[in-house]
Structure 1
Amino acid sequence: MVSRVLEEIKKTIMQRLPARVQVAKVEFEGPELVIYTKNPEIISENGDLIRELAKDLRKRIIIRSDRSVLMEPEKAIEKIHEIVPKEAEITNISFDDVTCEVIIEAKKPGLVIGKYGSTSREIVKNIGWAPKILRTPPISSEIIQRIRRTLRKNSKERKKILHQLGNRIHQETKYENDWARLTAIGGFREVGRSCLYLQTPNSRILLDCGVNVAGTDEKTSYPFLNVPEFAPDNLDAVIITHAHLDHSGFVPYLYHYGYDGPVYCTTPTRDLMTLLQLDHIDIAYREEQPLPFNVKHVKKCIKHTITLDYGEVTDIAPDIRLTLHNAGHILGSAMAHLHIGDGQHNMVYTGDFKYEQSRLLEPAVTRFPRLETLVMESTYGGKEDVQPSRNHAEKELIKTIYTTLRRGGKILIPVFAVGRAQELMVVLEEYIRTGIIHEVPVYIDGMIWEATAIHTARPEYLSKDLRDQIFHMGHNPFISDIFHKVNGMDERMDIIEGEPSIILSTSGMLTGGNSLEYFKWLCENEKNSLVFVGYQAEGSLGRRLQKGWKEIPLKEEGKTRVYKVKMDIKTIEGFSGHSDRRQLMEYVKRVSPRPEKILVCHGDNYKTLDLASSIYRTYKIETKTPLNLETVRIQ
């Protein structure tokens, strides 16, 4: 069936391409259609033709050279250095014999691409190899290097995976698409372990697969993957909206238990997700609470991940097309738009989203080509969940820092490594650079440094203001001299015993990690301050401190020690990466087209119900608040 489809596509390609183009072969690689040719420069010079062809075939098209026209790697490297200006600062060149690509890593990749792609076309014309151009991060990233090594080392296996996937995606549908339904497997009327299961007559899709980091056992920590209709080996695709563990932390488990298909997400999500998953495994091992998967399953996930840019329409199953749109929550966070069947139904799953401009990111997208069902988060969906403006939040933070430093104390800010940490770094850098805060060291502990390195590798996903600073003004706030990476216990003790300072450390809810250790050292000194800037889940130490607990019992080496909390505890709303109540309601008002049905998820029971009833009363849109394990027919 697939071969017949491919033959028809080949005929169309041969009819449309110039007669002098020598096509060696055409094949599916995952969602992409790859054309191998002996004269790729002719095709690359006809970009409009390829775009029109892709539009008519409704496929993503990649052009690659046939092996017979590839230049020897040593000569190709010399030629690349002749073609690419030195200002691009190429740091590494490697070759992938399987895909016939040359991987060029550079500090300024735009100069390797050239204006309107002119330099990359020149590379293809001269050496045959198709250039894959990657950014060299200004802060070295161990995770990005590890992912790139894994993909290079397993190129042959990955191509085989993509071939098999291509055959599965591009087969004809067996049944009429006359229904679609969603099963809530996690993250409904609760925050944590987000997981939705989409079924159509032809496809099975998982949207997010997270863990509840504040869970106390398997029943409260992991999604309900034991529902009778779910089987990993019947799954067509997994879509991850963003990297936070409550949305991506359980994906390796799928590979441990038989899943062998793709994970779709943005490139930053893949990088950050890998970082957080590996750290999750490491912490669980150190705390002697092993997870039901290990590092090899994370590696398998990397090999199966297909990254997409915002706005890129992609076939992920015979009857489903996926498009990712900016969600404004963290770097690479996405709303998933699913086009089901031949236009029979369209749904958007928001994941976590922020409908407000932040220093770090642009606000969430509101316009979609078609939309019948909207599945949206409600973390701050209660009527009392109105956050102050970002400007007010910054002023409160600066005031707290100023007051604490004046009395000779230290400021501990427990943060999620991804998102809030980088937002705060941008804020602190500006206020210290402009003299509003006296210059003090800002210590970066835990995964924050590595997560920040990933941010520096993907500036195209940042807000317009930040991109302008980095690209046009030559100022990158993330690499400021005020930030100091903490390396090991000795440095931590020097910080505790040293002069006043600001400490950004994980974890954000004080559920473990280095922030908990800093808390133990600092909490009994009234000069110090603890500042919460993110969500504190029920059951976490952070939530207990917010409730006013002054005595905290913590286990240490088999014994329990009670810490007396004398430090100032401050919660500053407004830095959250989630939309508050007003923004959630405004989003529903602004989203276009107007959805026929809204399912509300990712919020405490009361907040979910309150938001859903308010949406119905205000906009007269049908709303539902499913419980975990409930199934809702959306078509």
Structure 2
Amino acid sequence: MYDRVQDEGRNQNIVATILNNIPSESEITKIEYEGPFIVLYSRKPTVLLENQEIISKMVNSIKKRIVIRTDTSIRSSEQAVHQILRSSCSYPNDLSEIFFDSALGEATIFVSDFRTLTELNRLQIQLVEKTGWKLLYRRAPKNLKLLKSINEILYSSSEQRMYFYKRVGEKIFRQKLSGPEEASIVCLGGFSEIGRSAILVVTHESKILLDFGIKSYDHEDNDILPRLDIYGIGMNEIDAVIISHAHLDHCGAVPILFKYGYDGPVYCTDPTFPIMISILQDYISRSKEPLYSTRDIESLITHVIPLNFGAVTDISPDVRITFANSGHMIGSASTHMHIGNGDHNIVYTGDLKFGRLNTVDNAFWNFPRAETLVIESTNGNRDDKFVTRDVAEENLVKSINSTIEEGGRLLIPVPIIGLSQEVCVTLGLLRSMNKINPDNIFVDEKILDMFNFYEIYSDYLSKILKQRISEQTEDPLFINSLVKLEPSVKWERSIILCPSSMLTSGPSVTYLSEIANDPLSKVILLSEQFNSTVGKLLQEGERNITIERKSLEIKCKIDVIQGFSIHSDYNQLLAYINRLKPKLKKVITNHGEGKKCQNLSNSINKIFKIQSFHPLVQESIKVL
């Protein structure tokens, strides 16, 4: 039962703790609950910025996230901020763009050169004092068009967002209801199947969605959406939505929630936010009958609250989450959920790579507690074992060189984001080492555009790439040799990378048709190929296929090269579980075709003696 008097007393205790620890010279003007944060507005924010240990002490005391914002009374005009920044740095022409967010009191400065980025970071305290804004610095990419459009939507909705943050904050920081702690996992989609990933976590007083995707690769229209209807809850009963990463099978249905009245927060990492919006907009542009509109995506934009890896964050009165790198692609996150007073802890891996990639680091595994694990099973069969990455790259080099030497053309079908950037960086690296020498590497424009986010959010990249960027190495991402793919391109002795990865639609279908009758040319399949797709048929040896209602005989070579997957193989999945083994009580498999989920579940039970489940969509499991 909810006790308002007790709630108000608790809030007063939090405020009192803060005020007792804050130096009076910081001139705190108000303390607000905004989203998952306790926000301190200050007329002298530099006092706190120079003494971060004060904030750390308070966070440890009240166990809540605290954010410092500048009081609106000290914020300079946007024009004045431009002038102050330009006059403060040695190379003002390196300042590319400044995005202002008055709802957060933040100005994001995009800088074209690393030297100016370093200089501005060194002057941070002085510049906050001069401008009255919290300043964030990012590397300027080649194209800021999408981020500009997102910023315009955020900027124009500042007042509504401030109200939204306060409403969410009041809901999160209210007193917990009395009663026993409990938690169940409801399987809405992506269980014993791939696509429409969605989980509803139900606790004593919270209902939280983990991912909300669509099944985008299947030709059939049946069962493409998560089965939220089976639980019978209204949009106003959902406390939060958590998005693990920006692939359609994990985020593709989120705008539908807003279409039907959801008005709560969506949590994801910084890179996932704009990449997700780009992917959703692309889905609308190429769909004959999209499931939602641009307006629904704009509603989503104003409700996103980005979180960093490792930041413990309250998202409801009885649930606290922490994002950790899942190793799948830039910004992809596993979610650690702390329920109640530590009564139970759930780890949802999302898509997981517990192995080497060139673009992002290996998945994080060292969670303090984890009683229940929900783990993907894309490669859950015992024979889903890859060669090492070094061997995979050697095989790729041989495959490319043999075709180039014969004057053939190479098609590598890839998705827009994730594996495509991994392959681009790898090809650029191999070319820089003179291991391959195609005339050109042509890349679809949508894939190249995604590298803008790799430049902006470079702190989410692998240690190797971050080091190359910090050392100002020429072409740090190995992408300068990539050429934008144009229509009617001549691509003898060259490589084309384009979507879709499973040859179900898009330019990869067009270029497959061009080389189908050419025995000197080749298709290289590097990604997982799901059932009912053209890619799967080719992988299994079929050479007479129907594609876009046309029969096509395949005379070109088909080469399947394992080891480039951005999903863990069978051994990597077991190695990950082994790291968590001492803590685990239950393991639930998802995101895999039926037999793979079942096989991985059985293996976990047999090898680790842990209770394991491979549920179907519409089933639920009580974990607490």
Q: TM-score range by the shorter chain?
A: over 0.9
Shift of 1:591: 2.1
Shift of 1:111: 5.2
Partner of 1:189: 192
Partner of 1:574: 563
Indicate if the aligned counterparts of 2:187 and 2:615 stay in contact, CA closer than 8 A: yes
Given the superposition, is the C-alpha separation of residues 75 and 210 from structure 1 closer, same or farther in structure 2, using an over 3 Å criterion?
closer
Given the superposition, is the C-alpha separation of residues 514 and 478 from structure 1 closer, same or farther in structure 2, using an over 3 Å criterion?
farther
Higher mean alpha-carbon deviation, 319-328 vs 41-50, is at 41-50
Partner of 1:484: 483
**Structure 2: 5+ residue stretches without partners:** none
Indicate if the aligned counterparts of 2:139 and 2:455 stay in contact, CA closer than 8 A: no
Task: Report the TM-score when normalising by structure 2.
Answer: 0.95
* Distance in 2 (alpha carbons) for counterparts of 1:147 and 1:135: 17
* Distance in 2 (alpha carbons) for counterparts of 1:109 and 1:368: 34
Shift of 1:237: 0.5
* Distance in 1 (alpha carbons) for counterparts of 2:332 and 2:537: 29
Partner of 1:631: 620
Partner of 1:621: 610
Partner of 1:261: 264
Partner of 1:493: 488
* Distance in 1 (alpha carbons) for counterparts of 2:93 and 2:60: 33
Deviation digits for residues 158-180 of structure 1 (CA, Å, limit 9, x no counterpart) = 22211111111111122334210
Deviation digits for residues 286-315 of structure 1 (CA, Å, limit 9, x no counterpart) = xx3x12211111111111111111101111
* Distance in 2 (alpha carbons) for counterparts of 1:345 and 1:499: 58
* Distance in 2 (alpha carbons) for counterparts of 1:476 and 1:591: 38
* Distance in 1 (alpha carbons) for counterparts of 2:231 and 2:25: 56
Given the superposition, is the C-alpha separation of residues 477 and 127 from structure 1 closer, same or farther in structure 2, using an over 3 Å criterion?
closer
Shift of 1:463: 0.8
Question: Does the alignment pair 1:163 with 2:166?
Answer: yes
Question: Does the alignment pair 1:90 with 2:95?
Answer: yes
Q: Which amino acid aligns with 2:462?
A: S
Partner of 2:601: 612
Deviation digits for residues 23-72 of structure 1 (CA, Å, limit 9, x no counterpart) = 21111110111111222222222211012112212222222222222334
Given the superposition, is the C-alpha separation of residues 217 and 561 from structure 1 closer, same or farther in structure 2, using an over 3 Å criterion?
closer
SS at 1:598 equivalent: strand
Shift of 1:232: 2.1
Q: Which amino acid aligns with 1:547?
A: E
Deviation digits for residues 131-177 of structure 1 (CA, Å, limit 9, x no counterpart) = 2333322x314322322222222222222211111111111122334
Q: Which amino acid aligns with 2:553?
A: K
Given the superposition, is the C-alpha separation of residues 426 and 30 from structure 1 closer, same or farther in structure 2, using an over 3 Å criterion?
same
Indicate if the aligned counterparts of 2:98 and 2:110 stay in contact, CA closer than 8 A: yes
Indicate if the aligned counterparts of 2:380 and 2:570 stay in contact, CA closer than 8 A: yes
* Distance in 2 (alpha carbons) for counterparts of 1:589 and 1:388: 20
Higher mean alpha-carbon deviation, 294-303 vs 64-73, is at 64-73
SS at 2:283 equivalent: helix
Question: Does the alignment pair 1:27 with 2:32?
Answer: yes
Question: Does the alignment pair 1:47 with 2:40?
Answer: no
* Distance in 2 (alpha carbons) for counterparts of 1:409 and 1:461: 37
Partner of 1:136: 140
* Distance in 2 (alpha carbons) for counterparts of 1:135 and 1:537: 37
Partner of 2:547: 554
Given the superposition, is the C-alpha separation of residues 65 and 457 from structure 1 closer, same or farther in structure 2, using an over 3 Å criterion?
closer
Q: Which amino acid aligns with 2:105?
A: C
Partner of 2:63: 58
Given the superposition, is the C-alpha separation of residues 479 and 401 from structure 1 closer, same or farther in structure 2, using an over 3 Å criterion?
closer
Deviation digits for residues 222-269 of structure 1 (CA, Å, limit 9, x no counterpart) = 111211333322100011111111111111111111111111111111
Indicate if the aligned counterparts of 2:355 and 2:362 stay in contact, CA closer than 8 A: yes
Question: Does the alignment pair 1:417 with 2:410?
Answer: no
* Distance in 2 (alpha carbons) for counterparts of 1:57 and 1:315: 12
Shift of 1:113: 7.1
Shift of 1:87: 7.8
Question: Does the alignment pair 1:590 with 2:583?
Answer: no
Partner of 1:126: 130
SS at 1:375 equivalent: strand
Deviation digits for residues 375-399 of structure 1 (CA, Å, limit 9, x no counterpart) = 1011101011111111111111111
Aligned with 1:519 (options 481, 506, 512): 512
Aligned with 2:243 (options 222, 240, 247): 240
After TM superposition, the structure 1 = structure 2 runs for residues 177-256 of structure 1, keeping only pairs within 5 Å, are 177-256=180-259
Question: Does the alignment pair 1:528 with 2:533?
Answer: no
SS at 2:123 equivalent: helix
Shift of 1:208: 0.7
Question: Does the alignment pair 1:68 with 2:63?
Answer: no
Deviation digits for residues 170-199 of structure 1 (CA, Å, limit 9, x no counterpart) = 111223342100011111111111111100
Indicate if the aligned counterparts of 2:114 and 2:472 stay in contact, CA closer than 8 A: no
Shift of 1:18: 1.6
* Distance in 2 (alpha carbons) for counterparts of 1:197 and 1:262: 15
Given the superposition, is the C-alpha separation of residues 383 and 479 from structure 1 closer, same or farther in structure 2, using an over 3 Å criterion?
closer
SS at 2:439 equivalent: coil
* Distance in 2 (alpha carbons) for counterparts of 1:88 and 1:121: 22
Aligned residues: 619
Partner of 2:335: 336
Deviation digits for residues 87-118 of structure 1 (CA, Å, limit 9, x no counterpart) = 89221235444433333222357955769x65
Indicate if the aligned counterparts of 1:368 and 1:593 stay in contact, CA closer than 8 A: no
Higher mean alpha-carbon deviation, 416-425 vs 310-319, is at 416-425
SS at 2:397 equivalent: helix
Question: Does the alignment pair 1:278 with 2:267?
Answer: no
Shift of 1:608: 1.1
* Distance in 1 (alpha carbons) for counterparts of 2:111 and 2:282: 28
Q: Which amino acid aligns with 1:164?
A: R
After TM superposition, the structure 1 = structure 2 runs for residues 316-335 of structure 1, keeping only pairs within 5 Å, are 316-335=315-334
Given the superposition, is the C-alpha separation of residues 158 and 3 from structure 1 closer, same or farther in structure 2, using an over 3 Å criterion?
farther
Q: CA RMSD in A?
A: 2.0
Given the superposition, is the C-alpha separation of residues 518 and 533 from structure 1 closer, same or farther in structure 2, using an over 3 Å criterion?
same
Given the superposition, is the C-alpha separation of residues 10 and 73 from structure 1 closer, same or farther in structure 2, using an over 3 Å criterion?
same
Aligned with 1:508 (options 483, 486, 501): 501
**Quick one: percent identity of the two aligned structures?**
33
Deviation digits for residues 71-94 of structure 1 (CA, Å, limit 9, x no counterpart) = 344333322233344389221235
Indicate if the aligned counterparts of 1:112 and 1:120 stay in contact, CA closer than 8 A: no
Indicate if the aligned counterparts of 1:320 and 1:338 stay in contact, CA closer than 8 A: yes
Q: Which amino acid aligns with 2:129?
A: K
Indicate if the aligned counterparts of 2:218 and 2:533 stay in contact, CA closer than 8 A: no
Shift of 1:125: 1.8
* Distance in 2 (alpha carbons) for counterparts of 1:602 and 1:293: 24
* Distance in 1 (alpha carbons) for counterparts of 2:382 and 2:482: 38
* Distance in 1 (alpha carbons) for counterparts of 2:14 and 2:114: 33
* Distance in 2 (alpha carbons) for counterparts of 1:408 and 1:296: 48
Q: Which amino acid aligns with 1:542?
A: G
* Distance in 2 (alpha carbons) for counterparts of 1:145 and 1:72: 19
* Distance in 1 (alpha carbons) for counterparts of 2:67 and 2:360: 30
Indicate if the aligned counterparts of 1:112 and 1:119 stay in contact, CA closer than 8 A: no
Deviation digits for residues 270-289 of structure 1 (CA, Å, limit 9, x no counterpart) = 122111111111111xxx3x
Deviation digits for residues 534-581 of structure 1 (CA, Å, limit 9, x no counterpart) = 0111011111111222222234xxxx4321110101111100011111
Partner of 1:367: 366
* Distance in 2 (alpha carbons) for counterparts of 1:206 and 1:98: 26
* Distance in 2 (alpha carbons) for counterparts of 1:632 and 1:563: 46
